[in-house]
Amino acid sequence: MVRLNTPLNTEDILSLKLGEMVFINGIIFTGRYKVHRYLANEKPPISSMPFDLQGGVIYHCGPLLKKHDDNYSVLSAGPSTSSRVDLYQPEVIRTYNIKAIIGKGGMGINTIKAMQECKCIYLNTISGSAVYLANRIKKVIGGYKIDEFSDIEAMWAFEVEDFPAVLTIDTQGNTLHKNIKNLSSVNIINLIQR
Amino acid sequence: MLKLRDGVVELYRKVATSIPNDVEEALKKAYENETNQISRTALEIILKNISFARTSSRPICQDTGFPVFYVKTPRGLSQSLIMEVINDATRIATRKIPLRTNAIDTLTDNNTGDNTGFLFPLIHIDETEEEHFNVELLLLGGGSENIGQTYKLPALINIDGKEFIAERNLEGARKCIFDAIFKAQGKACPPYYIGVAVGGSKEQTAFLSKRQLMRRINDENPIAELNTFEKDLLQEINRIGIGVAGFGGNNTAMGLKIALAARHPASYIVDISFSCWAMRRGRLIW
């Protein structure tokens, strides 16, 4: 069992292998389509944000939250499909030196190139296990662009404990998604030609 | 009507926070027979998630979906009144359960904040000779919706550079299904539940393919040829190797259902709908 603490240490990241299960401890930042488009196009300085995204971990997630006065609790928070932010992700990784992306389904070639340059990994968490994953979120530290983008599309900072995910893209550009895709194409071609 | 409204609110709760027995059984069976270690661990977490969601009455997935209703009403009841009741119930359920607010005004890009909007939820109403109301609800996540595909046959299917002709027959539909699964990979939370329809109009086949997701996993297609098609193809799909969450292994789909509609001579449309493993459907009889 591999435990990773944020901020992530480059040495720890480099030693991970495809298919390895990791458990994240520390702070992660959510972001979906609107956050990514905004960060990539506007490149707001860290000083204008309520938390330090530099060298951080991004989680593709539009959580279901409950508001109690000024505090939030997380009811359900599984991953959202990563390919939807593929157009903006490379710019976000380079601008903020992102060290890990958590999502589902993997990402495209341009994102993988940016990940190689910045020594960033991609972690596929357990799709749809939103209550289980919400239970791993111990605290909502704060939100960014809540009014402008709404709860679902805002950036949230979560404190997590043993948040599970599987390494599916490493810093060398190797991807489990590509391996599975290749395997599935061989199998499908065989099935069609039966 | 107030009672019907409260019934629909409870239907939302049941559908959003639990999954039907047949689906849970299929996932348990998948856990038993899974050969890939990562996928097995993922299934273990998925089964725990189902149990946590049920006991804490929290939505099983943060994406509480696009609500689609299939309503059968006794003769003579006002359809607009039923739609009003369902919209009211949607607003109440959104606050009470709560559900994620998923309805976006497509022009202004603003979230409507209560899960209602033009044709949202989508409500299909049929009048019947029965004395009871039969309200079925499907909550389909956006990721699942987005991997659905439509094909107009004959078509050229290209799997990683290798081309095949999908002709106007069930074998052609089979090739389209493989293509759709190949494109979907692990993006929308497999093992998938797959609905297929073949016919001659886009709305007819899109409606029917999604409607197939409401069928129970173990039901039998009344048309023997289609029943065999469903069972054989499901076995083949589970040899593709995409696996749970796309991690690999022998559980890529939990079920596949197909329906046919009559077609125009010029058209042969194959429409494919997907649901993630969190197949959320339920029924209220009132």
State the pairing for strand pair B149-152/B134-140: unpaired
- Distance between CA atoms of residues B237 and B254, nearest Å: 10
B166 CB contacts (<8 Å, ≥6 apart)?
A: B151, B153, B154, B155, B156, B157, B172, B173, B175, B176, B179, B270
In whole numbers, what is the pLDDT of chain A averaged over residues?
A: 96
- Distance between CA atoms of residues A67 and B101, nearest Å: 14
Residue B139 pLDDT: 98
Residue B227 pLDDT: 98
- Cβ–Cβ gap A128/B38 under 8 Å: no
Residue B219 pLDDT: 97
Tell me the three state secondary structure of residue B165. strand
Q: Which residue has the tokens 């359960």?
A: B97
Among B100, B189, B247, the residue with its CB nearest the CB of A166 is: B247
Q: Which residues of B are less than 8 Å from A182 in CB distance?
A: 160
Cis peptide before B20 (omega within 30 of 0): no
Nearest CA in chain A to B161: A185
A183 CB contacts (<8 Å, ≥6 apart)?
A: B241, B248
Contact A117, A157 (CB under 8 A): no
Residue B91 pLDDT: 98
Contact B189, B276 (CB under 8 A): yes
Show the domains of chain A with their CATH numbers: 2-192 (3.20.130.10)
- Put simply, whether B159 touches A (Cβ < 8 Å) is yes
B67 CB contacts (<8 Å, ≥6 apart)?
A: B12, B90, B115, B120, B121, B122, B137, B138, B139
Active site residues of A: 36
Assigned token pair, B79 = 């359809």
Nearest CA in chain A to B64: A64
- Cβ–Cβ gap B48/A76 under 8 Å: no
Q: What is the ipTM of this complex?
A: 0.95
Q: Which residues of B are less than 8 Å from A106 in CB distance?
A: 185-187, 246
pLDDT tens, position by position, A34-70 = 999 999 999 999 999 999 999 999 999 999 999 988 8
Report, as ranges of residue numbers, the positions in chain B whose pLDDT lies below 70.
Answer: none
Q: Which residues of A are less than 8 Å from B243 in CB distance?
A: 180
Scanning chain B, the segments in alpha helix (DSSP H) are 2-17, 21-33, 37-56, 79-96, 142-146, 170-184, 202-211, 224-237
State the pairing for strand pair A2-5/A71-76: unpaired
Q: Which residue has the tokens 């279901």?
A: A64
Among B46, B98, B111, the residue with its CB nearest the CB of A126 is: B46
Size of interface A-B (CB pairs under 8 A): 168
Q: Which residues of A are less than 8 Å from B174 in CB distance?
A: 192
Residue A162 pLDDT: 98
Question: A140-149 long-range CB contacts below 8 Å, 24 or more apart?
Answer: A140/A65, A140/A71, A140/A72, A140/A73, A140/A74, A141/A27, A141/A51, A142/A50, A142/A51, A143/A50, A143/A72, A144/A35, A144/A49, A144/A50, A144/A51, A145/A34, A145/A35, A145/A38, A149/A34, A149/A35, A149/A38
pLDDT tens, position by position, A133-166 = 999 999 999 999 999 999 999 999 999 999 999 9
Among B111, B189, B241, the residue with its CB nearest the CB of A128 is: B189
- Cβ–Cβ gap B160/A75 under 8 Å: no
When pLDDT is averaged across residues A179-190 and rounded to a whole number, the result is 98
- Cβ–Cβ gap B59/A75 under 8 Å: yes
- Put simply, whether B241 touches A (Cβ < 8 Å) is yes
- Distance between CA atoms of residues A75 and A130, nearest Å: 8
CA of B142 to nearest chain A CA: how many angstroms apart?
9
Partner A, chain B 123-152, Cβ-Cβ below 8 Å = 142-143, 146
- Put simply, whether B72 touches A (Cβ < 8 Å) is no
Q: Which residues of B are less than 8 Å from A151 in CB distance?
A: 101
- Put simply, whether B103 touches A (Cβ < 8 Å) is no
Q: Quick one: which of B256, B215, B251, B262 has its CA closest to B234?
A: B256
- Distance between CA atoms of residues A137 and A72, nearest Å: 12
Contact A46, A53 (CB under 8 A): yes
When pLDDT is averaged across residues A2-21 and rounded to a whole number, the result is 94
- Cβ–Cβ gap B187/A185 under 8 Å: no
CA of B96 to nearest chain A CA: how many angstroms apart?
11
Among B58, B59, B159, the residue with its CB nearest the CB of A188 is: B159
- Cβ–Cβ gap A185/B45 under 8 Å: no
Tell me the three state secondary structure of residue B71. strand
Nearest CA in chain A to B164: A192
Residue A105 pLDDT: 96
Chain centroid, CA A79 distance in Å: 8
